[in-house]
Amino acid sequence: MTFELKILGSASATPVLARHPTAQVLTADATNYLIDCGEGTQWRMLEHRVRPHHLRAVFISHLHGDHYFGLFGLLGTMHLQGRTQPLRIVGPPGLDEVLVAQARASDMHLGFTLEFTPVNTEIHAVVYEDEHLTVATLPMRHRIPCAGYLFTERPRRANLLKDKLPAGLTPAQLARLAQGEDLEADDQQPGLRHADVAGPAPAPRRYAFFSDTLYTPALADLIRGVDLLYHEATFLDEHRERAGQTHHSTARQAAQLAEAAGVKRLLLGHFSSRYKSLEPVLLEAQAVFPTAELALEGLTVNL
Amino acid sequence: MTFELKILGSASATPVLARHPTAQVLTADATNYLIDCGEGTQWRMLEHRVRPHHLRAVFISHLHGDHYFGLFGLLGTMHLQGRTQPLRIVGPPGLDEVLVAQARASDMHLGFTLEFTPVNTEIHAVVYEDEHLTVATLPMRHRIPCAGYLFTERPRRANLLKDKLPAGLTPAQLARLAQGEDLEADDQQPGLRHADVAGPAPAPRRYAFFSDTLYTPALADLIRGVDLLYHEATFLDEHRERAGQTHHSTARQAAQLAEAAGVKRLLLGHFSSRYKSLEPVLLEAQAVFPTAELALEGLTVNL
């Protein structure tokens, strides 16, 4: 089963040529989820062959333009492409009002239903569930209400251990065991418990998305040991005062949080346009978390 | 004095890689005016070195997303770049409400004043004037209220004709004549009228922007003889039924209008994403108006 993250954009608010504002696609079991949707995201989806009408849900962190101004155009394109299945949008309260104002001005009547889940950005709570994922908010600290998101795969089934399987099982019985069911005893044979013939279930994979936030060490507790953390790293540590004023983090702080939380991998993003080269950003983080990587456009991380 | 049009985008609503939705910059006497502002326009401005804080005014034709979804991000960028001078936005009623809803959601407080001129899209009327330009609406016929715009240069001063100038004029007197003033008679010399020593004033240059519209021959009367016409040409004539249904024009119709109006140059734009090659669009128009051109991204027309 796929559990893969693709970076569509990782620039911050001031536009820079050949870089793009925040947008990511998480693919869980062949289903796509969009995380933030900066201006131009639909062109990035074209570029990276992510089909708009295959999106199951969109998660918006906050209502600064570089994180959601691409949503209006994307919805219009889905409509033009004939989408009919509902789209779930999860985000801060107020997003729905902007969408409604926009649609009214354009006299746009979407051919599909928008289902909006307003989130409380102050707490850690489950806000979305389907057959592939559970998603919980992570309370960011930014200038306006802002949610990070923790994506947790649904529990995966344990594989059957061949050397524990008795001989003579029919294909139907094997299939039931593989589905996690127990076989009851009958005239022909004794019962067989799934737990007795299966290995341990693999741990559900987890991805934590830290959108714009002041460095907040306490958040480490909520994401301990995740497989992947994306943490904004708008500034270098030499500009940490500016980071504090604007409620952003530095590359070093992102790495410190990753280190404290014991995450397996760290991606850095949301780079300020002032840094023409991102090498100093990467090196600063790697001094604390040696395997840190830059979330550059097109990067794909298969977990 | 410059009077120059630069094309930033000419695609229609469905996004296509390497093409961009409608946006143009008109430069009159070193002052920039933005005409429509599809999603991603601020990146096109970066690409073509048009500085956002040098924009004097923005003209929006209508509230379909491919003509204005780039405006929110552009305003935010002007704010981040420290703009303080007011910006005039001219467009259909309702645009201001969307801007306000957006700004409220983002808690965005611009460092400059937005001055909004709502236009009546049903009539031909002057809606903007400054020292460089007069701008009048052109009533388009589209699915929602939609204005084209006619940009007319302020009258230009006639040049002095050297062989009509008497000998012995001082530099100060020459300067006054060059400014269009008459010299009054005094003890030293008889008077001299500007009109007697100057050639005819060059005709003010004019640019007509026909945004999305059903083919409307009657509009030719409003733009007779303009130096440049941009006319949407969403479809080929073989799809003219579809053009009618969606309130768009075909390349042939665009050329017919240009021909009927006796315009000097014709640019075609707003091409449907269904046409992978635009050569048939161009050839169809050139069969009627032989010098028709495609308004491709980056094209600059110096009038």
What residues contact B253, with CB distance under 8 A and at least 6 apart? Answer: B215, B233, B237, B240, B243
Express each pLDDT in A255-285 by its tens digit: 999 999 999 999 999 999 999 999 999 999 9
E strand intervals along chain A: 3-9, 23-28, 31-37, 55-59, 87-91, 114-118, 126-129, 133-139, 147-153, 206-210, 228-232, 266-269, 293-294, 300-302
Distance CA B269, CA B12 (A): 8
Is B57 in the same domain as B181?
A: no
What residues contact B220, with CB distance under 8 A and at least 6 apart? Answer: B257, B260, B261
Is A26 in the same domain as A79?
A: yes
Q: Which pLDDT value is given to residue A188?
A: 74
Is B174 in the same domain as B150?
A: no
Q: Amino acid letter at B184? A: E
Mind telling me how many Å the CA of B245 is from chain A's nearest CA? Answer: 15
Angle (CA) A200 A204 A209, round 5°: 160
Is B35 in the same domain as B86?
A: yes
**Is B36 a known active-site residue?**
no
Is A143 in the same domain as A170?
A: no
Using an 8 Å CB-CB cutoff, list chain A residues near B13: 76-77, 80
Using an 8 Å CB-CB cutoff, list chain A residues near B76: 13, 65-66
Is A77 in the same domain as A110?
A: yes
How are strands ordered across the β-sheet holding B147-153? B126-129, B133-139, B147-153, B206-210, B228-232, B266-269, B293-294
User: What number is the ipTM of this complex?
Assistant: 0.89
Q: Which pLDDT value is given to residue A107?
A: 83
Domain with B192 in it: 162-197
Is A139 in the same domain as A208?
A: yes
Task: Provide the annotated active-site residues of A.
Answer: 66
User: How many structural domains does chain B have?
Assistant: 2
CB within 8 Å: A15 and B46: yes
Distance CA B67, CA B61 (A): 7
Asked whether the predicted pLDDT for residue A189 surpasses 80, the reply is no
Asked whether the predicted pLDDT for residue A190 surpasses 90, the reply is no
Angle (CA) A6 A250 A272, round 5°: 65
Structural domain ending residue among the three candidates B178, B197, B216: B197
What residues contact B93, with CB distance under 8 A and at least 6 apart? Answer: B118, B119, B145
Distance CA A82, CA A126 (A): 31
Q: What's the whole-number average pLDDT of chain B? A: 94
Distance CA A156, CA A153 (A): 8
Mind telling me how many Å the CA of A255 is from chain B's nearest CA? Answer: 28
Asked whether the predicted pLDDT for residue B189 surpasses 80, the reply is no
Q: Give the alpha-carbon dihedral of B76, B81, B85, B86, to 10 degrees.
A: -10
Is A137 in the same domain as A39?
A: yes
The answer to whether A73 faces chain B, any CB pair under 8 Å, is: yes
Distance CA B214, CA B243 (A): 7
Interface test with A, best of B42, B47, B48, B102 (most A CBs within 10 A): B102
Q: Which of residues 11-30 of A touch B (CB under 8 A)?
A: 13-17
CB within 8 Å: B97 and A105: yes
CB within 8 Å: A73 and B15: yes
Express each pLDDT in A169-184 by its tens digit: 889 989 999 888 998 8
Using an 8 Å CB-CB cutoff, list chain B residues near A104: 94
The answer to whether A109 faces chain B, any CB pair under 8 Å, is: no
Helix (H) or strand (E) holding B80: helix B71-80
Is B262 in the same domain as B149?
A: yes
Is A262 in the same domain as A297?
A: yes
For chain B, the residue count is 303
The pTM score is 0.91
Q: Which pLDDT value is given to residue B156?
A: 85
Residue A66 buriedness (CB in 10 A; 0-12 / 13-18 / 19+): buried
Interface test with B, best of A39, A75, A100 (most B CBs within 10 A): A39
Q: Which of residues 117-146 of A touch B (CB under 8 A)?
A: 143-144
DSSP designation for A188: S
Express each pLDDT in A39-79 by its tens digit: 999 999 999 999 888 899 999 999 999 999 999 999 999 99
CA nearest A71 in B: which residue?
B69
Range with lowest mean pLDDT among A164-168, B26-30, B224-228: A164-168
Q: Single out the residue of B166, B151, B294, B157 nearest to residue B232, CA to CA.
A: B294
Express each pLDDT in A202-238 by its tens digit: 899 999 999 999 999 999 999 999 999 999 999 999 9
In this structure, are residues A303 and A1 in contact, taking their beta carbons and an 8 Å threshold?
no
CB within 8 Å: B17 and A72: no
Angle (CA) B153 B157 B160, round 5°: 150
What CATH number does residue B253 fall under? 3.60.15.10
